[in-house]
Chain A
Amino acid sequence: MSLTAKDMATVKTLWGKISSKSDEIGAEALGRLLTVYPQTKTYFAHWADVSPGSAPVKKHGKTIMGAVGEAVSKIEDLPGALSQLSELHAYKLRVDPANFKLLAHNIIVVVGMMFPGDFSPEVHVSLDKFLQNLAWCLAERYR
């Protein structure tokens, strides 16, 4: 389900509205991932605190959304943009790609919560497609 020009424009416009809160979105989304899908905590056994709002969660949420923002800026070439991150996830982190869907769901929940007026169904479908493409590119080097 490739991104159309309309999807790309929609995502860029949305990002323009939400990017100032991207750290908060990342922290919230990651906190919810760990709470709603507790099996994801298995990847963070090395953190002292996996609860929403904790320091490691905030820091890592910021890292993740930084990468999402980079991807938005290079939305016309997601495979290229995500090549290095894909290697990292494939060879070092080895996060089961099923989890990308779970994080995407929570990013969408948080964007909807924080920006209800900017989250029409049309915006929702473009963001959903974008995150799905992002996940696909992230898993590109897995096998």
Chain B
Amino acid sequence: MSGGGDKEGIKSARAANSDCSLILESLIVGKSTEADSMVEWSDAERSAIAAVWGKLNLDEVGPQALGRVLIVYPWTQRYFGTFGDLSNAAAILGNPKVANHGKVVLGALDKAVKNLDNIKGTYANLSQLHCEKLNVDPDNFRLLADCLTIVIATKFGAAFPPQVQATWQKLMAVVVAALTSRYF
């Protein structure tokens, strides 16, 4: 990763991290300016997503997924300079700021699950935030999506059959594309 943790990035990241929940609500609620005409969900896919989501404890899974990203792909720690001790796996997994931010991220994902037909519109402002203020390389969205899939698989075991995994990863791909949509 290039050294881009510049002052502007850090200042805005710090502000964004501390006001995350507040910012999130204002960015996501309401504004669906474009319909997602391209993504179609069958009834089976909608049920599969609802079934998976309904079984998840977001407050548990969010921290686990984010913790895993920071451990498995340590360069992602560049965005969390204000989070304190990330020096080893135990520190990351016990870090309350990581845990809290994991919950924030899954809270945002909840909006996608509840707005399957317009994920792109739902995330338009969030995409802009990640690009312009947080300066997050969008490849990180894919890394987090993969870790979340793996955490879910680890929890569900045989209750996560191939077709459900396929549907879940389709949702992840749509979410990642939506978050990347405002990058220029």
Give B88's nearest chain A residue, CB to CB.
A122
- Docked-complex contact A124 and B166, CB < 8 angstroms: no
Chain B nearest CB from A115 CB (Å) reads: 9
Interface: B93 (CB within 8 A): yes
- Docked-complex contact A124 and B153, CB < 8 angstroms: no
Residues from chain B with Cβ under 8 Å of A122 in the complex: 71, 89
Please measure, in the bound complex, the distance between the C-alpha atom of A35 and the C-alpha atom of B165, giving whole angstroms: 9
Residue in contact with A112 in the complex, picked from B93, B153, B158, B166, CB distance below 8 Å: B153
Residue in contact with A32 in the complex, picked from B71, B150, B165, CB distance below 8 Å: B165
Chain A nearest CB from B181 CB (Å) reads: 22
- Docked-complex contact B71 and A125, CB < 8 angstroms: yes
Residue in contact with B149 in the complex, picked from A52, A109, A114, CB distance below 8 Å: A109
Please measure, in the bound complex, the distance between the C-alpha atom of A114 and the C-alpha atom of B93, giving whole angstroms: 22
Chain B nearest CB from A106 CB (Å) reads: 8
Interface: B169 (CB within 8 A): yes
When A113-B156, A116-B154 are in contact, do A128 and B166 touch as well, CB less than 8 Å? no
Interface: B162 (CB within 8 A): yes
Interface: B72 (CB within 8 A): yes
Residues from chain A with Cβ under 8 Å of B30 in the complex: none
When A105-B146, A125-B72 are in contact, do A112 and B154 touch as well, CB less than 8 Å? yes
Residues from chain A with Cβ under 8 Å of B89 in the complex: 120-122
- Docked-complex contact B165 and A116, CB < 8 angstroms: no
Give A52's nearest chain B residue, CB to CB.
B162
Binary flags per residue of B136-150, CB closer than 8 Å to A gives 1, else 0: 000000000010011
- Docked-complex contact A116 and B155, CB < 8 angstroms: yes
Chain B nearest CB from A31 CB (Å) reads: 6
Residues from chain A with Cβ under 8 Å of B154 in the complex: 112-113, 116, 119
Interface: B163 (CB within 8 A): yes
Interface: A67 (CB within 8 A): no
- Docked-complex contact B162 and A108, CB < 8 angstroms: no
Interface: A93 (CB within 8 A): no
When A122-B89, A124-B150 are in contact, do A36 and B157 touch as well, CB less than 8 Å? no
Please measure, in the bound complex, the distance between the C-alpha atom of A141 and the C-alpha atom of B1, giving whole angstroms: 27
Which chain B residues numbered 73 to 108 have a C-beta less than 8 Å away from chain A?
Answer: 89, 92-93
Interface: B121 (CB within 8 A): no
Residues from chain B with Cβ under 8 Å of A116 in the complex: 154-155, 157
Residues from chain B with Cβ under 8 Å of A28 in the complex: 162
A-B pairs, top 7 by smallest CB distance, nearest first, are A112-B154, A121-B71, A35-B162, A125-B72, A36-B166, A109-B153, A116-B154
> A residues within 8 Å of B by Cβ?
28, 31-32, 35-36, 52, 105, 108-110, 112-114, 116, 119-122, 124-125, 128
A-B contact pairs, 16 of them (CB 8 A): A28-B162, A32-B166, A35-B165, A36-B162, A36-B165, A109-B165, A113-B154, A113-B158, A114-B157, A116-B154, A119-B154, A120-B89, A121-B71, A121-B72, A121-B89, A124-B71
